[in-house]
Structure 1
Amino acid sequence: MRIRIATVIVLLINISVFYAQEKPNILFIFADDQTFESLGAINNPEIKTPNLDRLLEQGTLFTQTFNQGSWSPAVCLASRAMLNSGLSVWDSKNFDKLSNSEGKDKVTPWSLLMKNAGYDTYMTGKWHVRLDANKLFDEVRHVRPGMPNQTNKRYARKFLENEPDTWSPYDTSNKGYWKGGKHWSVVVADNTLDYLRKSKEGENPFFMYVAFNAPHDPRQSPKKYVDMYPIENIAVPESFLPEYPYAEEAASGKDLRDEQLAPFPRTEYSVKVNRQEYYAIITHMDAQIGRILDALEQTGQIDNTYIIFTADHGLAVGDHGFIGKQNMYDQSMRVPMIISGPRIPKSKQIHEMVYLQDAMATSLEIAEVKKPNYVAFNSLLPLTKNSNKKSKNQEVYGAYLDNQRMLRSKDFKLIVYPTIGKIRFYDIKNDPNEIRDLALNPSYSKEVKKHFKKLFSQQKKLRDQLDLSSVYEKYLNNF
């Protein structure tokens, strides 16, 4: 009898190991400050992203992916709090108070949900969440801060076309990404490759959270990458402005750190140099992503691994007079989102409206984990399986502090500046660069009213307490 019981126990253990091995791996790759318009094969012939292009060929691209906003000037802080908690923007503000490293409170962090589902969890790179990463993952390597150190010398650049520059993105003495002797993007890739070599021998599937600081400033990369982008080949955005008219009222003006990376008023040359360095660090990061994809293939794990690539928000880099991301224009709110893996369609594009924080819910469905009730975001897998499937978000909401609100549908965008009672309205379908403000055009008043009402509905849903009624009444009084 004891022999039979022992045999059954061994059999059950073997079965559990078999199913653990069959469960797919999940590799989450996270960029920082990468706008949607930075994919060479899709929307920007100026930039070289051969490995993201390769991932596009292997998977599905969500072309309308947005960040939900921020309660902090450090937009990445709010974005990552939403991502790792599943909470919507205003609820995520207190994520650290709702959760702990044991996941026993009201909110269980993403990594612990994966661990509880039988995954070996790993993290490297930028964290910037108000919880200790070392307590949330099985293995952690090189946790980085919100950004590499930025020097006064970088802020002091004059960007004068006919004078020598005072700062170089490939001068390693400027520290930043070079601090420690090896570029931080290379360190992230090295760490990831090391873990992939070990994981192929593991009994459990892995959940890897691989977070680059790139392409956040200081945008530094080796000289050969900067040389790929001669200034004379860099275009200025069609939406270029020397200064945005409501920047100060929007809390995105001269006092904001991000906006001090180019002089006021903006010059075309200063924007070109910033974009040159932005493209270079993206291409350098892309090369590291290529090393990771190669390692997945070389270790024989690619066929059983889902890859989710996205960024925490976009970046203006000269769009509408902004350099940073604290605004509601698509360049700053919209990001790449690529998913590849078993049964994910290849070379497909989906144009439904989604949030980047849907990455968490997507991974839970892949891992066959029931989504907790508090998770406000949705799995993207149903959209990949059914071309006729509609997103649960037919419009997306955006916010920045109490100074900006946004409602974006497929065809239109409403931006509200509450502190001055000002609105802007764009016909995205016919004006994708958001140049012609139609807020006071009587032909669009019906759409403006409709989008205001949708914004009010989103505010209620997301527990946004900001009262916009006076702004709406002021608009109605114009007609």
Structure 2
Amino acid sequence: MYESCDRRTFLTQTALSLGALPALLQVTAQTAESSRPNFLFLFVDDYRADAIHALGCNAIRTPNIDRLVWQGTAFTNCYNQGGWHGAICMASRAMVMTGRNLWDTHALDASLPEQAAAGKLWPQRMQASGYRTFMSGKWHVNCNPAKVFQRARHERPGMPPDIESQYRRPEEQKPDPFDPADTTQGGYFTGGKHWSEVVADDGVAFLRKEAGDEPFFMYLAFNAPHDPRQTAHAWLDQYTADALPLPPNFLPGYPYKDEIGCSADMRDERLAPFPRTPFAIRTHLREYYAIITHLDAQIGRILDALERSGRAENTYIILAGDNGLSIGSHGFMGKQNMYEHSMKVPLIMSGPGIAADRRCDALVYMQDFVPTLLELAAVAPETPMDFRSLLPLLRGEESSLRPHIYGAYMMLQRMVRGERYKMIYYPTVSRYRLYDLQEDPFELQDLSEVPEHGATLKELQEQLQRLQKEMHDPLSGSVS
């Protein structure tokens, strides 16, 4: 079982294979059908990049995700580009399907049903090249997954059925109206079984009964840890709210929340009372960590099934998040902001020849995994993609893919991040924020009005203008 092997034992068992890294990652169209690699894609929702024990979060228990970290390469500066409305996950997942940048994907979004009907999306290209494709879980893309995948099970919406009692709570010295373990409230328990467990059931069943001898691509997408964050007491009882550390950048509120689209009336921001309190945030963190630990156990079930199938050695595993989350950081609860906790996402890759227990700090986008997967599978996309293969980083041929990262939220927020400095721009109020991520990783000290950093601010303004043109940003030219 995955939980029975510690880090040292695992690394001892796998170290001998690393010398073959360059050769194992050289996949060509001439690869024999019997040795074509399999792909297991694990997609998680609203998952902060720092909420993994093996990557430094001592407060959380994630033994199975830790296993993936130890056996593979974790990209520690991985970003999503943002979104064109409050449901950031829709843009993030649409970009996965198109392989195009944020605003080009926005322009293509309405045509996704036609592209799927014509067999032009990349999972369909994989099927056409001989892959057996399977999907279960959250979809939230503007086309029918049954058209995109050979087999689609339990398609889920953007979030479980909402529960009104989860909002504007908890308040100190008042009864908490929300019980995360109450299965009668619906939410994740709608249908009689927790949705994370259903995804794992589907993945295990596919590996046991349906994978066959063909190479396979599995797309397993969990709604967790998106709210409503519900789990049984067995998972909740592993955490004590009072003992959990607050985020270092906790704030009671954010000064520009109304101007940037994160007012007290926004759905995500209504999850906790205003002003934010340590009591409320610790309560939410307990529920967040508990649903993640439950999710982690379901991932472990899938990994165990893969091992039992005898196909693990020839399978690439990719774990990625669609967007991050705040939960009290900078006074936010949601992900509709440009700070690291909301823009960065986990991205871990393991498989034949991928270095074990390695951290890569190059600036990447989560959607870069798509051209990476296609290159490993020797499958050509229907049209060129904006995102870039990670193989030069995985092979050690390059240390960087791009000098800057771009981010956007509606017409209200923009960001650009370089290796060290990051700038956030609020166009409706002509306000900049500048952070030195090397010295200030939690983005606590705004340097935008410090004269000594004027040249850095100007350089990042120019880089944002360049990226806005490249991305076909509708606000291109707005940076003053």
Aligned in 2, Cα 1:128/1:104: closer, same or farther, shift over 3 Å? closer
Secondary structure of the 1:357 match is helix
The residue correspondences of 1:298-309 to structure 2 (distance < 5 A) are: 298-309=308-319
2:183 aligned residue: 172
2:341 aligned residue: 331
Aligned in 2, Cα 1:391/1:371: closer, same or farther, shift over 3 Å? farther
1:400 aligned residue: 409
1:34 aligned residue: 47
Give the drift of 1:233.
1.2
1:90 aligned residue: 103
Secondary structure of the 2:54 match is coil
Which of 143, 147, 156 is the equivalent residue of 1:135? 147
Contact 1:239/1:319 (<8 A) preserved: yes
Which of 59, 65, 74 is the equivalent residue of 1:52? 65
Secondary structure of the 1:112 match is helix
Secondary structure of the 1:464 match is coil
Pairing 1:379–2:389 present: yes
The Cα offsets for residues 204-261 of structure 1, whole Å up to 9 and x where unpaired, read as: 1111110000000001111111111101211111111111000111011112100000
C-alpha distance in 2 between matches for 1:440 and 1:129: 41
Give the drift of 1:318.
0.5
C-alpha distance in 2 between matches for 1:463 and 1:342: 37
Contact 1:394/1:409 (<8 A) preserved: yes
The residue correspondences of 1:467-478 to structure 2 (distance < 5 A) are: 467-469=476-478, 471-472=479-480
Which of 277, 283, 287 is the equivalent residue of 2:293? 283
1:270 aligned residue: 280
Contact 1:148/1:177 (<8 A) preserved: yes
The Cα offsets for residues 402-422 of structure 1, whole Å up to 9 and x where unpaired, read as: 000000112111000000111
What is the identity percentage for the equivalent residue pairs of Structure 1 and Structure 2? 46
The Cα offsets for residues 342-373 of structure 1, whole Å up to 9 and x where unpaired, read as: 01111111110000011111110111123454
C-alpha distance in 1 between matches for 2:30 and 2:405: 42
TM norm structure 2: 0.91
Pairing 1:188–2:199 present: yes
Rg larger for: 1
Secondary structure of the 1:352 match is coil
Amino acid at match of 1:93: H
2:435 aligned residue: 426
Which of 449, 454, 465 is the equivalent residue of 1:445? 454
Which of 248, 257, 281 is the equivalent residue of 1:247? 257
2:158 aligned residue: 146
Give the drift of 1:101.
5.8
Contact 1:101/1:135 (<8 A) preserved: no
Aligned in 2, Cα 1:422/1:80: closer, same or farther, shift over 3 Å? same
Amino acid at match of 1:162: Q
1:163 aligned residue: 174
Aligned in 2, Cα 1:17/1:422: closer, same or farther, shift over 3 Å? closer
1:110 aligned residue: 122
1:123 aligned residue: 135
Aligned in 2, Cα 1:131/1:333: closer, same or farther, shift over 3 Å? same
TM norm structure 1: 0.91
C-alpha distance in 2 between matches for 1:463 and 1:18: 38
Which of 432, 457, 463 is the equivalent residue of 2:466? 457
C-alpha distance in 1 between matches for 2:49 and 2:30: 40
Amino acid at match of 1:427: D
The Cα offsets for residues 43-92 of structure 1, whole Å up to 9 and x where unpaired, read as: 21001100000111111111100001111110000000001110110011
Contact 1:81/1:95 (<8 A) preserved: no
C-alpha distance in 2 between matches for 1:273 and 1:21: 50
Contact 1:96/1:131 (<8 A) preserved: no
C-alpha distance in 2 between matches for 1:457 and 1:397: 10
Amino acid at match of 2:332: F
The Cα offsets for residues 311-340 of structure 1, whole Å up to 9 and x where unpaired, read as: 000000110000000000000000111000
C-alpha distance in 1 between matches for 2:122 and 2:335: 25
C-alpha distance in 2 between matches for 1:366 and 1:156: 46
Contact 1:199/1:206 (<8 A) preserved: no
4+ residue segments displaced more than 4 Å: 101-105
2:56 aligned residue: 43
C-alpha distance in 2 between matches for 1:343 and 1:207: 18
C-alpha distance in 1 between matches for 2:292 and 2:434: 31
Contact 1:101/1:136 (<8 A) preserved: no
C-alpha distance in 1 between matches for 2:324 and 2:373: 22
Contact 1:304/1:342 (<8 A) preserved: yes
Amino acid at match of 1:128: H
Secondary structure of the 2:77 match is strand
Give the drift of 1:39.
0.7
C-alpha distance in 1 between matches for 2:64 and 2:220: 16
Give the drift of 1:104.
7.1
2:36 aligned residue: 23
Amino acid at match of 2:197: V
Aligned in 2, Cα 1:109/1:448: closer, same or farther, shift over 3 Å? same
C-alpha distance in 2 between matches for 1:116 and 1:421: 49
The Cα offsets for residues 255-304 of structure 1, whole Å up to 9 and x where unpaired, read as: 21000000111111111111111111111000000011111111111001
Pairing 1:297–2:325 present: no
Contact 1:99/1:108 (<8 A) preserved: no
Secondary structure of the 2:86 match is coil
Secondary structure of the 1:245 match is coil
Pairing 1:81–2:90 present: no
Contact 1:101/1:132 (<8 A) preserved: no
Query: What is the aligned residue count?
Result: 452
C-alpha distance in 1 between matches for 2:111 and 2:160: 29
The Cα offsets for residues 10-51 of structure 1, whole Å up to 9 and x where unpaired, read as: xxxxxx999322111011100000011101011210011000
1:259 aligned residue: 269
C-alpha distance in 1 between matches for 2:47 and 2:311: 27
